[in-house]
Amino acid sequence: MKKNIAVLSGDGVGKEVSKGAIEILKAVGQQFGHEFHFQHGLIGGEAIDLEGTPLPNETIELCKQSDAVLLGAVGGPKWDQNPAYLRPEKGLLQIRKALNLFANIRPVTTYNALTDISPLKQEIIENVDFVIVRELTGGLYFGKPTGRSIENGEETAVDTLVYKRSEVERIIEKAFEMAQTRKKKVTSVDKANVLESSRMWREVAEEVSKKYPEVELEHMLVDNAAMQLIRNPRQFDVIVTENMFGDILSDEASMLTGSMGMLQSASLSSEGPSLYEPIHGSAPDIAGKNIANPIAMILSAAMMLRLSFGLEAEAKAIENAVDQVISAGHRTADIQRSGRKPVQTNEIIDHIKSALVEDGAISSIMSAYA
Ligand code: IPM
Ligand code: MG
């Protein structure tokens, strides 16, 4: 298989973790006989510095012509005082819109080898396995009007939470499709006791659910959901929710796995290429020190192989290699046990590569004898 992959590594640790994902994909390509071509595009702060915009048109074109997009992270203190249109985050929001990436899939699976580093009790987080389906191109992030004005002599700021029925329908559909292949439960999270958009969201969820009689639908208010995620996270299978609710709940959920550095995500498009990125940010405080955890990015690449290219065995090979490396205790600082020496970014990438190669060698020996 030949595939063109656009790489937007962005700012801060985005660069280091993207490099890791590329190395791992090259190793997988060699092992399974695929050709992956990588082309780099600018986004975020780096694009502001070099091109005067957080998302140059060439980057959008590059992504549209690729089979899939890998994104590292954007942002940093250097650009924090910039006006809204010149912020690195704007580039991320624009690429989501430009590629129509309406469904952000954030799996939350705890590694039993890592339960000791989560701030939560082991019995709470063992065997947690759910997925957050976050609406990504609507809601509070994109609603108009937005901005500042002077109303009756006082400075006023406004953001708008707006959804069209069709936008809600397609994200709820996606959640039900996913639930059908999993534990067959959808938890639709909203604030229907207060917000009109949430009341429509709830109605749409009820309607869509009629098409999926074998999937259970439950509604949950977002404040309750924030609490239930910590109280009993095993109750969840597929959580579907509005853009900003999903942003907040997914950071909270990452602590079930112990570190933001472990959570991958896929942003699926309704038409063209999909985009894969870690949920963590650019972490400027640790950037360039070779200590960032590249696993979320590497697992995002595995998701790309599975969801965009249908390469299930290849995706599994990466996931298994990551499992092995964590279980063997090779861990970056964010997931290392106290008293043990953390490994560096490039070391953990090398460990994952070796685990891939060893596994590959074992399975080819096994198939030779089969
Ligand atoms: C995320 C991030 C982004 C978001 C920021 C960087 C704009 O927090 O992907 O979760 O809020 O969507
Ligand atoms: Mg976020």
Residue type, 86: L
Catalytic annotation on 251? Answer: yes
Is residue 88 pLDDT above 60, yes or no? yes
Query: From the CA of 233, how far away is ligand 1's center (Å)?
Result: 22
186 and 215 Cβ atoms separated by less than 8 Å: yes
Sequence-ordered list of residues with C-beta below 8 angstroms from that of 309, at least 6 positions apart, any chain: 1, 3, 67, 68
Beta bridge partners of 106: 132
Residue with the smallest CA separation from ligand 1 atom 9 is 279
Q: Which of 159, 243, 247, 275 to mutate to test the pocket of ligand 1 (most atoms within 8 A of CB)?
A: 247
What are 220-234's pLDDT values in tens digits?
999 999 999 999 999
- pTM of this structure: 0.94
Cα dist from 205 to 181, 183, 191, 268, 348, whole Å: 18, 18, 14, 20, 42
Q: Tell me, yes or no, if the two domains 1-107+260-370 and 118-257 fold the same way.
A: yes
Average pLDDT, rounded, for the chain: 95
- Which residue has its alpha carbon closest to ligand 1 atom 8? 247
Q: Cα dist. 91→79, 204, 264 in Å?
A: 12, 31, 20
Q: How many residues does the chain have?
A: 370
CA of 118 to the centre of ligand 2 (A): 19
Distance of CA 270 to the CA centre of its chain: 17
Residue nearest to ligand 1 atom 4, measured at CA:
247
Spacing, Cα 340 to ligand 1 middle (Å): 32
The pLDDT tens digits of the residues spanning 253-262 come to: 998 988 889 9
Question: Is residue 216's pLDDT more than 80?
Answer: yes
Which single residue is written with the structure tokens 């208010």?
221
The residue annotated as part of the active site, out of 141, 163, 212, 276, is: 141
The DSSP line for 353-366 is: HHHHHHHHHHHHHH
Ligand whose nearest atom lies closest to the CA of 243: 1
Please give the distance, rounded to the nearest whole angstrom, from the Cα atom of residue 247 to the centre of ligand 1: 7
As a whole-number percent, the residues of the chain with pLDDT over 90 amount to 91
Catalytic option among 19, 90, 191, 353: 191
Task: Compute the average pLDDT of residues 129-138.
Answer: 98
Beta bridge partners of 189: 220, 241
Q: Are 335 and 117 in contact (CB under 8 A)?
A: yes
Q: Both tokens of residue 44?
A: 């975020």
Would residue 276 show up in a list of annotated catalytic residues for this protein? no
For 121-126, the CB contacts below 8 A with 24+ separation are 124/230, 124/231, 124/232, 124/233, 124/256, 125/233, 125/256, 125/257
Sign of the CA dihedral 25, 26, 27, 32? positive
Asked if the 1-107+260-370 domain carries CATH number 3.40.718.10, the reply is: yes
Q: Are 133 and 180 in contact (CB under 8 A)?
A: no
Q: Which CATH architecture has domain 118-257?
A: 3-Layer(aba) Sandwich (3.40)
List all residues whose CB is within 6 A of at least one atom of ligand 1.
75, 89, 92, 247, 279, 281
Q: Domain residue spans in the chain?
A: 1-107+260-370, 118-257
What is d(CA 253, CA 241) in angstroms, rounded to the nearest whole number?
Answer: 14
Specify the ligand 1 atom closest to the Cα of 247: 10
Residue 143 tokens, joined:
């609603």
The pLDDT tens digits of the residues spanning 278-320 come to: 999 999 999 999 999 999 999 999 999 999 999 999 999 999 9
Q: How far apart are CA 228 and CA 265, in angstroms?
A: 22
Phi and psi at residue 182, to the nearest 5° = -120, -130
**pLDDT of 362 higher than 70:** no
